[in-house]
């Protein structure tokens, strides 16, 4: 539906009030999410229970009336579908069998076999196409290849992505092969999400900022461009959002170079800078600091208005600069929305 506000912004339209959603808007800051997760038993069980995953996706839509719902899943479901074991340690985050050798790379499943594992994710999307309000856009997503590779190589999240950088330096052929494998599987995964009902897809490159120089081009930009080109060939007109977090000056020109319809920017750059340097190429998404949803008060209201004003001259989707944190106050989310919408 081209009258949906987010789809209009993604087509390059400047709207008087920007559409709004939040990264991680279904999450631990909401009591209803915590109750549903307890019902599921654990995080992965929640991701693979289509009815419950759809429920937590819908919860922030019911509560706040966001303009978009983003599929509830995790970027590590795709590498799990390729074969490595995945589990979550309470209070510590994900753990995964590592892929660091030519033999381990060769042992990954063929791309076409991912769909059996990921079938519940597609079913979640089909449920959401039936249950979402007609004006709400449904967003699918995947992790970008570099970010997914950092977890597959280290077996966990790391502060500096050191193990991935080390493999890149010592065995570039295996590293590049892993990036290529994730890229081809991601194309199939996101295409299946679109077939199941996603109207927009987003690529999260959470660790793009740790790639420097030619490595950024080779392992952040080029895989993203390959994914986008393949998806647009399969699904003409599909809007795609790219998020190369902490790319800094590399945000400039990223939309043109990658083919993305929108570039999401984090809050390490100012909205004024992003409006001048990034929005000239099309839609920008962002970029309120997530910690303002913890502290609240007048700084939250003024921060939301500042972002809205900065991007008022072009197509803009209001969002945070990164995901909402578990300690955020749900009431502050309402204050943010009211500030953006002028209530």
Identify the burial level of 16 via C-beta atoms within 10 angstroms of its C-beta, where 0-12 means exposed, 13-18 middle and 19 or more buried: exposed
pLDDT at 89: 84
**pLDDT for residue 92 is more than 90:** no
Which string of b and e fits 177-214 if b means at least 16 CB within 10 Å? bbbebbbbbbbbbbbbbbebbbbbbbbbbbbbbbbeee
Cα distance between residue 329 and residue 335, in whole Å:
10
Which of 34, 37, 109, 341 is catalytic? The answer is 37
Q: Are 39 and 58 in contact (CB under 8 A)?
A: no
Cα distance between residue 309 and residue 288, in whole Å:
12
**pLDDT for residue 198 is more than 80:** yes
Q: Read off the pLDDT of each residue in 114-123 and give the average, rounded to a whole number.
A: 98
Instruction: Note the pLDDT tens digit of each residue in 224-278.
Output: 999 999 999 999 999 999 999 999 999 999 999 999 999 999 999 999 999 999 9
| The pair of three-digit structure tokens given for residue 41, joined into one six-digit string | 């038993």
Average pLDDT, the chain: 97
For tokens 């060939």, the residue is 233
Judged by phi (left if over 0) then psi (alpha if -120 to 50, else beta), residue 12 lies in left
Least confident stretch, 86-90, 227-231, 318-322: 86-90
Pick from 146, 251, 142, 156: nearest CA to 192: 142
**Spans of all domains in the chain:** 5-341
Q: Read off the pLDDT of each residue in 119-143 and give the average, rounded to a whole number.
A: 98
Instruction: Note the pLDDT tens digit of each residue in 271-319.
Output: 999 999 999 999 999 999 999 999 999 999 999 999 999 999 999 999 9
**Residue 122 known to be catalytic:** no
Q: Are 307 and 271 in contact (CB under 8 A)?
A: yes
| The pair of three-digit structure tokens given for residue 173, joined into one six-digit string | 């052929």
Percent of the chain with pLDDT over 70: 99
As a three-state string, the secondary structure of the chain is CCCCHHHHHHCCCCCCCCCECCCCCCCCCCHHHHHHHHHHCCHHHHHHCHHHHHHHHHHHHHHHCCCEEECCCCCCHHHHHCCCCEEEECCCEEEECCCCCHHHHHCCCCHHHHHHHHHHHHHHHHHHHHHCCCCCEEEEEEECHHHHHHHHHHCCCCCCCHHHHHHHHHCHHHHHHHHHHHHHHHHHHHHHHHHHCCCEEEEEECCHHHCCCHHHHHHHHHHHHHHHHHHHHHCCCCCEEEEECCCHHHHCCHHHHHCCCEEECCCCCCHHHHHHHCHHHCEEEEEECCCHHHHCHHHHHHHHHHHHHHCCCCCEEEEECCCCCCCCCHHHHHHHHHHHHCC
Q: Quickly state the pLDDT bin for 91 (edges 50, 70, 90).
A: confident
Task: Indicate the class that CATH gives domain 5-341.
Answer: alpha beta
pLDDT at 90: 79
Q: Are 61 and 337 in contact (CB under 8 A)?
A: no
Pick from 248, 180, 181: nearest CA to 212: 248
**Residue 74 known to be catalytic:** yes
Which of 48, 64, 122, 151 is catalytic? The answer is 151
**Residue 215 known to be catalytic:** no
Which of 34, 63, 74, 305 is catalytic? The answer is 74
Instruction: Note the pLDDT tens digit of each residue in 175-187.
Output: 999 999 999 999 9
Q: Are 65 and 59 in contact (CB under 8 A)?
A: no
**pLDDT for residue 1 is more than 70:** no
Which of 24, 226, 245, 250 is catalytic? The answer is 24
Instruction: Note the pLDDT tens digit of each residue in 21-41.
Output: 999 999 999 999 999 999 999
pLDDT at 343: 58
Q: Quickly state the pLDDT bin for 2 (edges 50, 70, 90).
A: low
């Amino acid at each position: 539906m081209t009258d949906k506000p987010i789809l209009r912004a993604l087509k390059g339209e400047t709207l008087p009030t920007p559409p709004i959603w939040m990264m991680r808007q279904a999450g631990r800051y909401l009591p209803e999410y915590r109750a549903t997760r307890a019902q599921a038993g654990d995080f992965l069980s929640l991701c693979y229970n289509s009815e419950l995953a759809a429920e937590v996706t819908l919860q922030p839509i019911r509560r706040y009336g966001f303009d978009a719902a983003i599929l509830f899943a995790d970027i590590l479901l795709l590498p799990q579908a390729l074969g490595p074991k995945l589990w979550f340690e309470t209070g510590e985050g994900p753990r995964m069998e590592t892929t660091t050798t030519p033999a381990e790379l060769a042992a990954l499943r063929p791309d076409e076999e991912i769909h059996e594992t990921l079938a519940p994710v597609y079913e979640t999307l089909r449920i959401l196409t039936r249950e979402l309000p007609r004006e709400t856009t449904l967003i699918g997503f995947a992790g970008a290849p570099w970010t997914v590779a950092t977890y597959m190589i280290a077996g966990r999240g790391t502060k500096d992505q050191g193990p991935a950088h080390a493999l890149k330096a010592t065995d570039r052929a295996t590293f590049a092969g892993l990036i290529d494998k994730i890229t081809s599987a991601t194309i199939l995964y996101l295409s299946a999400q679109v077939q199941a009902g996603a109207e927009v897809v987003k690529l999260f490159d959470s660790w793009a900022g740790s790639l420097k120089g030619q490595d950024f081009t080779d392992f952040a930009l080029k895989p993203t461009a390959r994914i986008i080109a393949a998806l647009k060939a399969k699904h003409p007109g599909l809007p795609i959002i790219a998020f190369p977090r902490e790319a800094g000056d590399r945000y400039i020109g990223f939309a043109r170079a990658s083919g993305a319809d929108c570039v999401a920017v984090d809050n390490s750059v100012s909205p004024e800078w992003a409006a001048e340097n990034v929005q000239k190429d099309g839609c920008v998404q962002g970029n309120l600091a997530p910690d303002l949803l913890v502290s609240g008060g007048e700084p939250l209201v003024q921060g939301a208005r500042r972002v809205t004003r900065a991007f008022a001259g072009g197509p803009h989707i209001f969002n945070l600069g990164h995901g909402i944190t578990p300690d955020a106050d749900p009431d502050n989310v309402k204050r943010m929305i009211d500030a953006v919408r002028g209530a």
